[in-house]
Amino acid sequence: MSCAIEGAFRKVRNRLTQNERVVRMKRLKQRDSKIKTDTVWAGLLVTLTLLSGCATPPTTSPEAASAWSARQAVLQPLTTWQAEGRIGVVSGQDGWHAHFQWAQRDVGYRIDLIGPLGQGRVTVESEGWEVRLQTQDGQQWTAPDADDLLEQHLGVRLPVNGLRYWARGLPEPGSTPVLQMDSSGRLTRLEQNGWVIEYPAYAPTTMLNLDLPERIVARRPDLSVKLVIEQWKL
């Protein structure tokens, strides 16, 4: 009887041992699978980190950011100014050059283009709600938007609305720009509204002890506008 009982216990113990082995093997397989999965994810994370590091644009130094904030504080309230110089426009295979005089007073402005397309003087004026274009021979047209008006009658869509800010070295309000600046906080490159604006040169002014843009190049795929500002009046 005791031998039978002992044999039964031995069988139960063997079954338990086999079950423990099965459970242990399952746990080992699960652990190995988790280790492999974690290793794969770790490799992917390292790869993505390296790739994102390559694509990250250079950051602006704290000194340049502080200088940029100081420039904005001076330039943004500067809504009355005059600039004079030369403008060159290239659109496809066509292009023209002119002398320009720009007088800005708050939202109103007057732009005189002297010599474009053989038309003598072209004047673009606005008080903020309507734009008027007048040629030297007295013809006049009006429209709500200067860019549209110039495109209709000069054949070129000049970015007047943007240039009244870009000329001062500021982004146009209302859309998020991509900015690059030098160590003095002056814009060197600006991307906004489909345009890329570059500032190859600044010139010192005696007013406000501030450097202002001397050369500006604004480009988009179908149009290039170059300004050389020879004189600023603030």
Q: Whats the size of the chain, residue-wise?
A: 234
For residues 71 and 37, state if they share a domain: no
**Average pLDDT score over residue span 211-221:** 97
* DSSP-assigned letter for residue 38: H
pLDDT for the residue numbered 117: 63
User: In this structure, are 229 and 189 located in the same domain?
Assistant: yes
Lookup result for tokens 């066509």: 94
User: Would the pLDDT of 43 be above 50?
Assistant: no
Please give the Cα distance from 117 to 115 (Å, whole number).
Answer: 6
Q: For residues 214 and 184, state if they share a domain.
A: yes
Does the reported pTM lie above 0.85?
no
Average of per-residue pLDDT across 186-205: 96
Judging by DSSP bridges, how do beta strands 131-135 and 140-143 pair with one another?
antiparallel
| Bridge partner residues of 148 (DSSP) | none
Tokens matching residue 36: 């492999």
Q: Same structural domain for residues 11 and 46?
A: yes
Q: Are residues 15 and 98 in the same domain?
A: no
Structural domain count, the chain: 2
pLDDT at 64 over 70: yes
Tell me how many degrees the CA angle 182-186-188 measures, rounded to the nearest 5: 65
pLDDT at site 15? 52
- The band of 77, judged by pLDDT with boundaries at 50, 70 and 90, is very high
Give phi and psi for 120, each to the nearest 5: 75, -110
The whole-number average pLDDT for the span 110-138 is: 89
Higher pLDDT, 106 or 30: 106
- Dihedral over Cα of 180, 182, 183, 186: its sign: negative
Mean pLDDT estimate for the chain: 80
Q: Which residue has the tokens 């982004």?
A: 171
Say if CB 214 and CB 228 are below 8 A apart: yes
User: Measured at the alpha carbon of residue 223, what is the angle toward residues 120 and 186, in degrees to the nearest 5?
Assistant: 95
**Which residues form the domain of 35?**
1-56
For residue 96, name the pLDDT band (cuts at 50, 70, 90).
Answer: confident
